[in-house]
Structure 1
Amino acid sequence: MSLNSLGLNTQKTNELVIDLNNLLANFQVYYQNLRGIHWNIRGKRFFDLHAKFEELYNDAQVKVDEVAERVLTLGGTPLHTFEDYVNAAKVPVGKDIHEDEKSVKLVINSLTELLKIERVILDKSDEAGDEGTNSMMSDFITEQEKTVWMMKAWLGEKI
């Protein structure tokens, strides 16, 4: 078994880099979705949702940077082209969404996809003994679960 300079199994780390790059691509699409709904939201709930979507895209921007830096820390190269992002992403692309409920549903659907990816990375990073990635995923999951709950509550729905 080959270990890298962080003391982690090289093969498992390389697999995590692939998964983190996949997460990065999906976060970039999520981020762009948030920018779009922030700009284009209309209606009586404009002020509340405009501010909320800005809060969410600022958070997503920070997470994009954290994921990319984790890829670098593990010895990989972060994806960095729109082509890479679109080809890898499972997060739905939200185009020309102006309505409040459609916007909130896009956030929920996007976070649902991100959570699926993050749970896989959480399991793999635990198996690899990669506490840095594991901790990051745990923090992301905790925050995003709360956001999904709040968005569902806004819609009048249960988890």
Structure 2
Amino acid sequence: MTLTILGLDIQKTEKLAKDLNVLLANFQVYYQNLRGIHWNIKGKGFFELHAKFEELYNDAQVKVDEVAERILTLGGEPLHTFEDYIANAKVPVGKHISKDEKAVELIVASISELLQLERSLLEKAADASDEGTVAMMSDFISQQEKTIWMMRAWLG
């Protein structure tokens, strides 16, 4: 087995970097969805949701950067074009969403997709003894589980 400078198996690390790029693409689509619903939300819940969506897109922007930097740390190259993001994303794309419930449902669906990717990455990273990626995925998962709970509570 050949090891990286980090002491990780090269083949497993290359696969992790590829999977992290898929996560990155999904986060970028999620981020753009959040920007769109932040800009376009209407109705009596405008002030509450406008602020909440801004909080979520700021958090997503930080996570995008963390994922890209992890890919670089593992020796990969982060995807950086919209073409690559769309080709690799499973998160639903939200268009023309201005209604509060539709916006929150989009967030729940998007985070649910992100969680599936993160759980898979968590398992693969643990198998590769990649504690850095394991810790990142664990943090993301616990934060996003709470966000889904809060969004579902809001939906009633």
**Which TM-score tier does this pair reach, normalised by the shorter chain?**
over 0.9
**Aligned equivalent of 1:20:** 20
1:66 aligns with 2:89: no
> Structure 2, unaligned stretches of length 5 or more?
none
What amino acid is the match of 1:93? V
Distance 2:129 2:89 in 1: 27
Q: Deviations over 1:12-48 (max 9, x none)?
A: 0000001000000000000000000000000000000
Distance 1:91 1:115 in 2: 11
Distance 1:4 1:137 in 2: 21
**Aligned equivalent of 2:94:** 94
**Aligned equivalent of 2:107:** 107
**Aligned equivalent of 1:48:** 48
Shift of 1:108: 0.2
1:142 aligns with 2:142: yes
Distance 1:48 1:101 in 2: 13
Shift of 1:55: 0.0
What is the TM-score when the length of structure 2 is the normalising length? 1.00
Shift of 1:118: 0.2
Distance 2:40 2:87 in 1: 25
Q: Deviations over 1:79-126 (max 9, x none)?
A: 000000000000000001000000000000000000000000000000
What is the TM-score when the length of structure 1 is the normalising length? 0.98
What amino acid is the match of 2:131? E
> Structure 1, unaligned stretches of length 5 or more?
none
Distance 1:14 1:148 in 2: 31
Distance 1:4 1:85 in 2: 27
Shift of 1:146: 0.2
What amino acid is the match of 2:147? T
The runs of at least 4 consecutive aligned structure 1 residues that moved more than 2 Å come to none
1:83 aligns with 2:97: no
Distance 1:74 1:82 in 2: 22
